[in-house]
Homo-oligomer: A and B are copies of this chain.
Amino acid sequence: MEFRRFDDTCVIRMDRGEEILSTLAALCEKENIRLASVEAIGAVDRAVVGLYDVGEKVYHKKEFNEPMEIASLLGTVTEKDGKPYLHLHATLCDAEMRTHGGHVNELRISATCEMVLRLLPGEVGRRPDEVTGLNLFQF
């Protein structure tokens, strides 16, 4: 991973073999980034994405171990318990250009990931929500 900061924006290159969530969390921890929006494209050879079932309060996950393009990766960096908290959703394309997607649990880079991180001047936390079972934005 390598990045450059331009004003309030970090342009990031992640590299083959790196896992996107953990790489981004480490960068945010190191650079003290606590509020940002994330957008990225790239290519992966392993992905775990899920759908959250509000009724059952559980994520249904699906694992892919094949070359896929990241058509879109969007979400936010906020803060929970003093740590960066990532929430990202992805759309992934397989070799037939069919797409799959969902809540991101794991994305391992095959070629590269090109990410733009917009830093925002402030903080947004997370609070557990009983109705949905999720950690929601707390202002």
Contact = CB atoms under 8 A, between A and B. Distances in A.
A27 to B, nearest CB: 14
- Interface magnitude class on chain A: 35 or more
**Chain A at the B interface: SS class:** strand
Nearest to A63: B97
A136 B18 CA distance: 15
Given A11-B137, A43-B52, A103-B69, A116 B76 contact: yes
Q: Which 7 A-B pairs have the closest CB atoms?
A: A13-B137, A71-B101, A41-B89, A93-B101, A93-B102, A6-B120, A99-B99
Interface of A: 2-4, 6-7, 9, 11, 13, 15-16, 35, 37, 39-41, 43, 45, 49-54, 60, 62, 67-72, 74-76, 87-91, 93-103, 110-112, 114, 116, 118, 120-122, 124, 129, 131-132, 134, 136-137, 139
